[in-house]
Each structure stands twice: as structure tokens, then as C-alpha cells.
Chain A
């Protein structure tokens, strides 16, 4: 009996300090609660009936800006009517297990559901694998309040511009179907050098020809809102977390509004 109790105590002790044992900076070790977060948050979001106006927050490039991200979470939790928060890539700085875990430890304090898109930094070392386990597929979509939200990997540079990123046939397929308006989220904007230059025209045309309300990005580290292809499709770039700003997009049947907020 004593031996049994001791074994149990030992096991509890080992599991509570297992974070203390790291086998490699490049290891891929997540807890069950840290896995498949995009899908879990889609379910959380869709469990709440949508208002006529859907209001969502976009942030970019959390990388090594943990304290700033924490201040952002505090700020956003004080606001009401936020449907969800989207982190637009470069979750981590060097695709490391600990970096992903630390960012999620802060993000999970958000009262609103949250999603993350993959950034170029998240594709370093084993980052891509960690992203798959923690958030899910690199290209994903969900609908809410009749609007369609699409997450896309546009980090073409990371695979040497081999034509696989961004997956435009997949995007084209996603843009078919019935929805009021679509929003496409990706880390690298098409006007950045890290986007496959041969795909810029196809990307912008695809958005223009479908009901895409906005193309939303990060990567540039500075906020901008522009119409680079003069085709009526706005391109929003959110600043990195250390710039201490975020964008709120409010969309209803009549209009779409974007506001940059500082904290």
C-alpha cells in the first residue's frame, strides 16, 4: 500500500515538473489542451448566434513580443461585442515549441474565440509541424453570420517559391458557394517580396471576381490600408505586436468598417 502511494506521488511529481525537462529546443511537445485550436475555436464561435453586425479583431506578428501581447489581451477583454480575434501569422520567432506554448498561454486568456494563420517564421525548424498540431490546417475556413472567413498560407519564400504556396486552386474552391461576403486572411501580402510573384495577378483577380470584402495581412510590421490593384478590393495590413496596435473590422449587410486602435 505504502509503495502504491509512493508510486502515485512520484508520478504526480514527475508530471507536474515535466515542463522542466526539455529534450531539445527543437522538440514538438504539446499538451492536449494546446492542440487543434482553430477547430475548437470555430466550435466555440459558432455556438454563439451571430448578431447582425460581426465585429472581429486582427493582430499580427506576435513573435517575441509577449508582454505587448499580454497587454493587448487585457485591453481586448475589456471590450464588448468582439466575435473573435485573429492572429495573422508569425506566432513564433523561430518556430520553437516553447515560443508557441508561451504565445498560446497568453492568447488563451482571451474571452473571445481566437484563430491563428501560419507565418513565415512559423515555418522555421519544426514550426510547421507545431502549427499543424496546435492550430490545424494551414489553409482553413469557417462561416459566421453568413460571412465566410478564409485562412491561407502565403509564405511562398519558405518553400523556395516552388508553386505550392499559396494554394490558389484551394482558394478558388473555397470562394465558390453561398455567402454574403468573404474575408481572406494570410500573413504575407501579395505586394511583399516573400509572396510568389507569379501568383500575384491570379490572387488579386480571384479576390476581385468573387465576393471578397477584404484581403487581410501582417508581415510588414506596420499598419496600412490600401487598394494596391485599383480593383475595388481593400488590402489591410496590421502592425506587429510591438507597435501596440490592432485593427477592428465591423461588417454588416450594408457596410464594412476598419479602425486601427492603439493600446
Chain B
């Protein structure tokens, strides 16, 4: 598998999905765009899952509620991650399955999506720096592409309330470099080696 090529295809797909969501948002907005329409639909607070010790995100849901698009700022303190890390992650979540009612709550049993994780810092590069032969490392160290599957459990509040909904979600994410290591080394690398668990809370306004 050619990693840079795969990466570029997935990235294009990601951009396409982002455009798709933005388009549907535009369609629902009136000519007189209200300020509230531009504000994010929800905020998310996440623990682990490869994008931070804690990450704070905000984003939008598509009109048919099949997609969520979020931007996260992730922070890793040195005490937790060995080095201080600041990261920015764009996440697209696909929620293809209808909500199943469970004891007054709503279960989204299957979600899936893509994450582009960017790490800030001079020790990481996007394209191999100039002091190397052209594209010496053919892979960025500041960008990691993640794929995930997960689920959501939602609790809806009354429509007149300020907080419309709160949800608990989990994600099992793997990064491109990890997935490739697994695919090429099925004897020594096990599936649980490449899965990283993230747990979060989503609040809808």
C-alpha cells in the first residue's frame, strides 16, 4: 500500500465530506442568516482517543443528522504524555443508524469517521524540511490521519431548555501508521495494539 497516496485520497474524501456538510447548512439557513445559525450546534469534551489528554471541540450537525463535523483543540500535559503537546484535530463523524430508544435515552449504536490530527511544535514537520534530500521521509510527522468506530448514548431535554441534548460517546481510533504496521505484521501486532479508546461528552444547544 502506498501510504502518501492513500493519505491524499482519504484527505480529499475528508474535504468532500466537509463541503457536503457546509452545503447542507447553507441550504437550511434563511436569507437573513441569524447569528445563532453560525454558532456551533454542539461542544464536545473528550478524554484520550489520540487527540489530547483532554480535548475541547465545537462543531455542527448536518440537517439529516447523519454527520457531525468538529474542530478540537487537544492538550497533553507533560505529566500525562511525557512531553507537553498542543494539537488541533478535525473530525468527521458519520452516524448512519437511526436512534434506538433505550429506557428513555437514545442510542446511536454505530458511528464511524475520520480524524486529521495536527501537532504543533518545531520538532514535527509536514513536508520533509529543506536540509534533507527531496521528500526524504515521504510522511509528515505533524499530521496523523485517524479512522474510528464508536457509539453515542443521548439524553434529550425539553426543547425550551437552553441545553437541548447531552450525549456520552466513545470511539476506538487507529492512526494510519498504526494501521499499516498491523496490516503488514499480523503475527506480532494485534488489533488491540492499534486501537485507542476515547471517551467524550457532547452538549447540544
- A residues sitting closer than 8 Å to B (CB atoms) are 17, 20-30, 64-67, 69-70, 93-99, 102, 105-106, 121, 124-126, 129, 133, 157, 160-161, 193
Contact = CB atoms under 8 A, between A and B. Distances in A.
Contacts of A64: 180-181, 184-185
B169 to A, nearest CB: 15
A69 B53 CA distance: 32
Contacts of A65: 185
Contacts, number: 112
A129 B82 contact: yes
A70 B53 CA distance: 32
**A22, A94, A102 pick with most chain B CB within 10 angstroms:** A22
A95 B141 contact: yes
B81 A28 contact: yes
Contacts of A28: 81-83
B33 interface: no
A167 B50 CA distance: 36
A105 B181 CA distance: 14
A133 B83 CA distance: 12
B16 interface: no
A21 B141 CA distance: 20
B76 A24 contact: yes
Given A21-B197, A64-B181, A94 B141 contact: yes
Contact of A99 (B137, B181, B184): B181
B119 interface: yes
A193 B81 CA distance: 35
B48 interface: yes
Q: In the complex, which range does the number of interface residues on chain B fall in?
A: 35 or more
B131 A160 contact: yes
A84 B50 CA distance: 36
Contact of B82 (A29, A93, A102): A29
A21 B52 CA distance: 10
Given A66-B188, A125-B141, A26 B124 contact: yes
Given A64-B180, A98-B178, A20 B192 contact: yes
B181 A24 contact: no
Contacts of A23: 48, 50, 52-53, 74, 76, 80-81, 85
Contacts of B192: 20
B153 interface: no
B195 interface: yes
Contacts of A193: 133
A28 B144 CA distance: 16
A77 to B, nearest CB: 15
A94 B81 contact: no
Contact of B177 (A25, A133, A160): A25
B117 interface: yes
Contacts of A30: 82
B187 interface: yes
A20 B175 contact: no
B155 interface: no
Contacts of B49: 21-22
A78 to B, nearest CB: 18
B134 interface: no
15 contacts: A20-B195, A23-B76, A25-B178, A29-B81, A64-B184, A66-B181, A67-B186, A70-B187, A94-B141, A99-B177, A105-B188, A121-B137, A126-B83, A129-B82, A193-B133
A94 B177 contact: yes
Contacts of A133: 82
B177 A102 contact: no
B51 interface: yes
A105 B177 CA distance: 18
Contacts of A95: 141
B189 A102 contact: yes
Contact of B132 (A125, A126, A157): A157
A3 B193 CA distance: 32
B82 A22 contact: no
Given A70-B188, A125-B141, A157-B131, A21 B193 contact: no
Contact of A96 (B81, B132, B177, B193): B177
Nearest to A30: B82
